Amino acid sequence: MLKKSVIVAALAAVFAMPAASAKETRELAEIREQIRQMKEAYEARLAALESRLAQAQAQAAAAQTEAKAASATAQQADTNAAAAQNAATQPAAPAVAAAPAQSNSNAFNPDISAILGGSFQRLKQDPEQYRVQGMLPPGGETGPGAKGFNLGESEITLRANIDPMFSGQLTFALTPENEAEVEEAFIQTRDLGGGFNVKAGRFLSAIGYLNSQHSHTWDFADAPLAYQVFLGGQFKSDGVQAKWLAPLDQFVELGVELGNGANFPGTPRNRNGANSAAAFARIGDDIGESASYRVGVSLLRTHAEQRGWEEDGLAHAFSGKTNTLIADAIYKWAPNGNPTATNFKLQGEYFRSKDSGNLEYDTARPGGPLGRAYSSAYTGIQSGWYAQGVYQFMPNWRTGLRYDRLTAGARHIGLVDDGTLTADSFAVLQPYSPRKTSIMFDYSPSEFSRLRLQFAQEKSRPGVTDNQVILQYIMSLGTHAAHAF
């Protein structure tokens, strides 16, 4: 019986083993499935986290790039605020040294730029004998310059935003005589509200059209005769300027300036207050899609004390006030407002100057033969104008024509009227109408460089014609503010 029980138990164990093995297999399979599901869920979660991390990094980089671009754009826009207010919606022709995109690495440092210029001049007449007949001799930078190779005037400019309220600029001029002078050094407000802004320091006056522009932006190698005779090249002063840009669709700008008036046609004066005053008004607008214009009028009043010159070995001087009226007009055209390939600019300015005061003859002599000084009242009214057109006939290439003319006008010299001196005692003041014709061709490989060839015929004194050939280069280094309209 016992034996039978053992056999039955053995048989039961044998038949139970497949069932246990099957159960174990199912449990292992379930465990493996759970592990697989956990692994897949982990990998999916990890992938999702990595994707979110990548997106966050990309968004942060994009935001940083946008912030850098916005900061650079805002700083450049503020730096160019004065030029932008003078610019109409019509794009101007490409100018040498237009500003490239600004780097954020320079956001907290001044923008530094340099202008390198030079020329070769072939002149028929001796520049040492240069004079403009019929006009009181001007001071400042006048005449054609020296023969042969000339370094020209170079400039170094530093500009930056000072804080949310002010920006500043400093420009050094390096002359061919190895002298350095402060061309401009001023601060200006960034936005006082209502279209008002103020500038203080030393700056090129905003009168006329060309006066406020640095010479490297001019379309010809030299200043028109009217600028040389009536402003000594360019008028600048130490003082303050206030401008108002009207909140209108049309460009309307008004401004006033007060200064020390130490430069021609004024002279340094040892007195308090403003020795020069200026006012200007301008309007401008578009003419369709392809053209725009700007017209303006300016008035400058200066005072001079012993503003002298030498003639025929004698020294003479003028003391008194000078009122200079300037009217300017500029028209620009470019197909559909795009000046890249073709554009045309027509500009002109008219000057009328009145000197009222005292004229001294031979200042080294204490008095005339009658025991009185060689001094008397003087009044002179002179005028002048220029007109020029510049045509870009293909990308990078331009040609231009300019005509200048001056008129001696009417004058009264007491020493001559009362018979003390003869009419030709002041030879330079003998009536004459100086004139000059200039034609130029220039090539700009980029916005940073320009090569120019200019031919001119000048008749600034009777019986003398000066044929001039000028080859000029202008190169820009670093960032430079945008130019005015």
| Amino acid 25: pLDDT | 63
Residue 81 pLDDT class (50, 70, 90 cuts):
very low
Is 60 exceeded by the pLDDT of residue 437? yes
User: If you average pLDDT over residues 129-142, what whole number do you get?
Assistant: 81
- What is the residue extent of each domain of the chain? 18-78, 80-478
| Amino acid 101: pLDDT | 42
User: If you average pLDDT over residues 431-452, what whole number do you get?
Assistant: 95
Judged by average pLDDT, the poorest of 257-261, 359-363, 403-407 is 359-363
Q: Which CATH class is domain 80-478?
A: mainly beta
Average pLDDT of every residue of the chain? 83
| Amino acid 67: pLDDT | 57
Could you read off the pLDDT of 144-162 as tens digits, one per residue?
888 999 988 889 999 999 9
- 10 Å CB burial of residue 223 (0-12, 13-18, 19+) is buried
- Helix, strand, or coil here: 218? coil
First to last CA, the chain: 126
Euclidean distance between CA atoms 449 and 270, whole angstroms: 43
| Amino acid 90: pLDDT | 43
Structure tokens, 428: 């330079």
Does the pTM of the predicted model rise above 0.75?
Answer: yes
Beta bridge partners of 329: 295, 348
Q: Is the peptide bond before 265 cis (omega within 30 degrees of 0)?
A: yes
Residue 5 pLDDT class (50, 70, 90 cuts):
low
| Amino acid 416: pLDDT | 86
Q: What is the percent of the chain with per-residue pLDDT over 70, rounded to a whole number? A: 78
Query: Which has the closest alpha carbon to 439: 147, 219, 233, 234?
Result: 219
Question: Are 344 and 368 in contact, with CB atoms under 8 Å apart?
Answer: no
Instruction: Return the top range by mean pLDDT from 144-153, 266-275, 389-398.
Output: 389-398
Is 70 exceeded by the pLDDT of residue 102? no
Question: Are 293 and 287 in contact, with CB atoms under 8 Å apart?
Answer: yes
Could you read off the pLDDT of 16-46 as tens digits, one per residue?
555 445 555 667 667 776 776 676 666 666 6
> Is the alpha carbon torsion for 352, 85, 451, 106 positive or negative?
positive
Per DSSP (E only), the strands in 334-463 are: 343-360, 375-394, 397-407, 411-413, 435-446, 449-461
User: If you average pLDDT over residues 96-119, what whole number do you get?
Assistant: 66
Could you read off the pLDDT of 186-205 as tens digits, one per residue?
999 998 999 999 999 999 99
Is 70 exceeded by the pLDDT of residue 99? no
C-alpha count within 13 angstroms, C-beta hemisphere, residue 354: 5
Euclidean distance between CA atoms 391 and 377, whole angstroms: 47
Residue 136 pLDDT class (50, 70, 90 cuts):
confident
Residue 313 pLDDT class (50, 70, 90 cuts):
confident
Mention every residue, 6+ apart, whose C-beta is less than 8 A from residue 316: 308, 309, 310, 359, 360, 361, 362, 363, 426
